[in-house]
A and B are shown apart, each in its own frame.
Chain A
Amino acid sequence: MSDGLDQLKEAYAAALEQYLSVGGEPPLHRAYEVGRQAVRAGLSVLDMASVHQEALVRVLVRTLTPEQSAEVARRAAAFFLECLSPFEMSQRGFQETISTLRQLNAELERQAAELAAVNKELEAFTCSVSHDLRAPLRHIDGFSRLLLDEYSEALPERARRYLSRVRDGTRRMGQMVDDLLNLTHVGRRDLDLRLTGLNSLVEEVLGDLRPETEGREVRWEIAELPFVECDPALMKQVFANLLGNAVKFTRPRPCAVIQVGTVMADDSAVIFVRDNGVGFSMKHAQKLFGVFQRLHRQEDFEGTGVGLATVERVIHKHGGRVWAEAELNKGATFYFTLGVPQSEGRENDVTVGGAVWKLAR
């Protein structure tokens, strides 16, 4: 037994003796307090019982009358009933811990309720964006269209041009609202994880992009991609944005070359989408994934600047990373990973072409 514990045991015995001799609140409190400290410091059940016994005997020996003895016995009973057992004593420690935990829990619950309220507010905002902001847009578009349809001949050329500017603006804002809404949906949605062949997603996207590549020479070089556990609808959006961008930014090229493949980096496999398009300067790379951030003029390359923000959100939701390398006029490459790479293989990892894919949990 350590010196500290010995001292505590002695202090406990003394405090207990004092209480048994004089009674009263402060001595009672002190006996509890020192006893609890001794239990925390490791006083065993047997040691505690002997402290109790010795203290009681010492005090009883000093009593002169049966009345005094009865009083000591009464105090001992009260004390021992309250905290005779060291289990009781240690339970007091537990109770303190539990009450601290309860407080922490209440605090957490309060924060969770606050978060839920904020989330609800955000949802209400999204809903009102989707409903209330679209309505006036639809009216501007509709009535400007009717004006053009029904009064076109009465309008001077310049008025018609102004009207078509109004309509272009409306269309662009409509697209922005839609894209923003989609971005919000991606953020709110729970991942629906399924083992998915990425090649099949790429094939679907290629089908969707066909109207945009019509009449152009585009060489697709699609490597064998792995099967991964991911949310297929969201991952399709990733490919739709990355491949759509590749198609868009290679438009000035007589022959566009768009590659999709995998490389190894830091021991984990990375998927990339590469094009030989107009690229961008790495000076602006940090802006790339921001909402409404665009590196090209609207009249050169259309877009709302939400696509890559959506890509980043989906990849982050999967626990992955996305980044880009590019050079002005020399094309761009976008890389992404899914899930955190781990050093040891797991049952669920998927092996494709020698590369082990660590799956997002």
Chain B
Amino acid sequence: METSEVEILLVEDSPEDVELTLHALRQEKLANRIQVARDGEEALEFLFCRGPHNARSFEHPPRVVLLDLKLPKVDGMEVLREIKKDPRTQPIPVVILTASREESDMVEGYKLGVNGYVQKPVDFDRLREVVKGLGLYWLVVNEPPPHSAFRPR
């Protein structure tokens, strides 16, 4: 897979949720280049070009990271913290996509600098709407951070 052109990094441990989300994204023909990370460690390896992804370059960050919170090994909040504290990854838009609507999660997420917080609806039709909206916004409407945004000040 040509990882340098990844548009969406989907961090999600549930295979069912991965399949449903991919189905919704593909149905809308919004993204063909989706990288899936099944736990927080895998997500960090991808974003920080480590381990199996050491051939990747920081030059080509994903347009958006869709991040579940409850993940094996390294949880979503920790992944978010790592992304937002490193100048090489800090500008990458991250949207928390989770089942939790716990206020404490929202507060912590926003304090860490998350770019969006979306609750996964139970209803698949609504989930489809939500995923379509996210794809449209981050891949079509939003201007991605320019390269210079990734340089340390």
**Other-chain residue from B20, B99, B124, B127 in contact with A131 (beta carbon distance below 8 A):** B99
**Other-chain residue from A127, A141, A143 in contact with B122 (beta carbon distance below 8 A):** A141
Could you tell me which residues of chain B, from 69 to 112, have a CB within 8 Å of some CB in chain A? 69-70, 98-102
* Residues of chain A with a CB closer than 8 A to B102's CB: 126-127, 130
**Other-chain residue from B20, B100, B124 in contact with A130 (beta carbon distance below 8 A):** B100
Task: Tell me, rounded to whole Å, the shortest Cβ–Cβ distance linking B49 to chain A.
Answer: 31
A194 at interface by CB-CB < 8 Å: no
B123 at interface by CB-CB < 8 Å: yes
The complex places the Cα of A1 from the Cα of B120 at a distance, in Å, of 81
* Residues of chain A with a CB closer than 8 A to B99's CB: 130-132, 134-135, 138
A171 at interface by CB-CB < 8 Å: yes
**Other-chain residue from B20, B23, B70, B101 in contact with A181 (beta carbon distance below 8 A):** B101
A138–B100 CB distance below 8 A: no
B129 at interface by CB-CB < 8 Å: no
A137–B122 CB distance below 8 A: yes
A30 at interface by CB-CB < 8 Å: no
Beyond A130-B101, A131-B100, A135-B99, whether A142 also contacts B16 by CB under 8 A is: yes
The complex places the Cα of A127 from the Cα of B69 at a distance, in Å, of 12
The complex places the Cα of A132 from the Cα of B99 at a distance, in Å, of 8
The complex places the Cα of A145 from the Cα of B24 at a distance, in Å, of 12
**B interface bracket (residues with beta carbon within 8 Å of A):** 10 to 19
A138–B20 CB distance below 8 A: yes
**Other-chain residue from B23, B69, B101, B120 in contact with A138 (beta carbon distance below 8 A):** B120
B23–A139 CB distance below 8 A: no
Task: Tell me, rounded to whole Å, the shortest Cβ–Cβ distance linking B19 to chain A.
Answer: 8
Task: Tell me, rounded to whole Å, the shortest Cβ–Cβ distance linking B85 to chain A.
Answer: 25
The complex places the Cα of A177 from the Cα of B119 at a distance, in Å, of 14
B14 at interface by CB-CB < 8 Å: yes
Q: Please, what's the 1-or-0 string for B123-135, where 1 marks a CB less than 8 Å from any CB in chain A?
A: 1110100000000
For B121, give the chain A residue with the smallest CB separation: A138
B17–A139 CB distance below 8 A: yes
A138–B17 CB distance below 8 A: yes
The complex places the Cα of A16 from the Cα of B90 at a distance, in Å, of 82
For B103, give the chain A residue with the smallest CB separation: A185
Among A135, A137, A178, chain B packs the most CB atoms within 10 A around the CB of A135
The complex places the Cα of A126 from the Cα of B103 at a distance, in Å, of 12
The complex places the Cα of A130 from the Cα of B104 at a distance, in Å, of 13
* Residues of chain B with a CB closer than 8 A to A21's CB: none
**Other-chain residue from B20, B70, B100, B123 in contact with A139 (beta carbon distance below 8 A):** B20
The complex places the Cα of A170 from the Cα of B122 at a distance, in Å, of 9
Among B69, B98, B123, chain A packs the most CB atoms within 10 A around the CB of B123
* Residues of chain B with a CB closer than 8 A to A131's CB: 69-70, 98-100
For A171, give the chain B residue with the smallest CB separation: B123
Among A126, A135, A142, A178, chain B packs the most CB atoms within 10 A around the CB of A142
15 inter-chain pairs at a CB distance below 8 angstroms, sorted by A residue, are A126-B102, A127-B102, A130-B100, A130-B101, A130-B102, A132-B99, A134-B122, A135-B99, A138-B20, A138-B99, A139-B17, A141-B122, A141-B123, A141-B124, A181-B101
Shortest 7 CB-CB contacts between residues of A and residues of B: A174-B122, A142-B124, A139-B16, A142-B20, A145-B124, A131-B99, A134-B99
Given contacts A127-B100, A171-B123, A174-B123, 14 further A-B contacts (CB under 8 A): A130-B99, A131-B69, A131-B100, A132-B99, A135-B17, A138-B17, A139-B14, A141-B122, A141-B123, A142-B16, A142-B127, A143-B20, A146-B124, A178-B122
